[in-house]
Amino acid sequence: MRTAIKSLEWLVEQMGGLARFCVLALVLLVATNVILRYLFSIGPVSLQELEWHLVSPIALLGLSYSMKHRADVRIDVLYERFPVRGRAIVDIIASLLTVAVGAIITWLSISYVSHSYQMGEGSPDPGGLAMRYLLKGFIPLGFLLLAVQGFADVLRGLVQFTNPQNPIALANSFNSESS
């Protein structure tokens, strides 16, 4: 089970790297747009649209990445008082709900992206970006990754429940490469 968890989380980690790259690209793009606008009075629509297009992979790929690194919001007032097996049960239930939500939204969003692809959806603005379906494609991908991370957490909870003396370490920082 430990190998399966590491394999699943490797995928989440790689997609998190893509999200981090998009953050850097967004910062550079915003700086470029500001310089173009205020120094040269140029404001290309495509570059402005690209700014908000970069938010999609940041948010949707970063969701599972933040869960992997336990940077998500949790309320641990009671949780910390539970015994190890009690915490494992809470983690398993929460992770199963995460898998269910991720799978449902993935399933429902596929037709949304497919419809956008079939109609060749692009920006309605002159000079805007084409192929909007690529942007929308991050919706099922992001929620699929959320389900994958949730499944890894279910497995981790099962290991913790069956072997409370030897749990799998959690990623505790954004610099951790393995968990």
8 Å CB contact between 144 and 154: no
| 117-153 pLDDT per residue, tens | 999 998 888 888 888 899 999 999 999 999 999 999 9
Whether the per-residue pLDDT at 178 is higher than 60: the answer is no
Maximum alpha-carbon separation in the chain: 64
Burial class of residue 126, CB neighbours in 10 A (0-12, 13-18, 19+): exposed
The three-class DSSP label of residue 172 is coil
Comparison of pLDDT for 54 and 70, the residue scoring more: 54
CA-based nearest residue to 131, from 119, 140, 144: 119
- The pLDDT of residue 173 is 45
Query: Half-sphere exposure of 31 toward its Cβ, with a 13 Å CA cutoff?
Result: 6
**167 confidence band (pLDDT: 50, 70, 90):** low
Token pair 């279910």 in the structure block, residue: 154
pLDDT digits (tens, 9 = 90+) for 64-118: 999 998 887 777 778 888 898 999 999 999 999 999 999 999 999 999 999 999 9
* pLDDT in the model for residue 171: 54
Whether the predicted pLDDT of 156 surpasses 50: yes
Q: Where are the domains of the chain?
A: 2-162
The pLDDT, as a whole number, for residue 109 is: 97
